[in-house]
Amino acid sequence: MNNPEDIADILKDIKSRKINLCIDDFGTGYSSLSYLQNFPFDTIKVDKSFITDIEWDQKSVEIVRTIALMANSLDINLVAEGVETPGQLRQLQNLKYQTVQGYLLAKPMSVDAVEEYLQRQHHNCCSEAG
């Protein structure tokens, strides 16, 4: 990131190819608010470290809420990583997060396991509907 202008040009070229860009582990390490200002990201994935304590820590709630407000105002998709409890999911739903990932929903899977999982979900959905 020593030359942000070159990085911005590269990312714009990638975007011109209809490829979406995502910042993973947002809020930790090298992720920076300036990335949102200077680079054409489509999605930010909020790091699990912010999600872990949202059931009982008001500071965590406010950080996660602020990230959601910022992403919404910048028209950036939002994903909450590391959702492991129903309480975390409820809190994220209250904060208007529409996309989450974590062990509460499913453990990491191989491609074959994902295909099987999605087929089961589709079958269960269609069976209930009809």
Tell me the per-residue pLDDT of 27-49, one tens digit each, with 9 for 90 and over. Answer: 887 667 878 888 899 999 999 99
Is the predicted pLDDT of residue 5 greater than 80, yes or no?
A: yes
pLDDT of residue 33: 81
Q: Is the dihedral of CA 22, 26, 32, 33 positive or negative?
A: positive
Q: What's the CATH superfamily of 4-129?
A: EAL domain (3.20.20.450)
Query: What pTM was estimated for this model as a whole?
Result: 0.80
Q: Give the pLDDT confidence score for residue 116 in this predicted structure.
A: 92
Is residue 45 within 8 Å of residue 26, measured between CB atoms?
yes
Reply yes or no on whether the pLDDT at 22 is more than 60. Answer: yes
Dig out the tokens for 116 from the structure.
């099987």
Which amino acid makes up residue 59? K
Residue numbers annotated as active site: 81
Do residues 118 and 107 make contact, with C-beta atoms less than 8 angstroms apart?
A: no
Question: What was the pLDDT predicted at 37?
Answer: 83
Residue-wise pLDDT tens digits, 74-126: 999 999 999 999 999 999 999 999 899 999 988 889 999 999 988 988 787 77
Own/partner contacts of 69-74, CB < 8 Å, gap of 24 or more, are 70/36, 71/44, 72/96, 74/36
Q: Mention every residue, 6+ apart, whose C-beta is less than 8 A from residue 105.
A: 83
What confidence score (pLDDT) does residue 124 get? 79
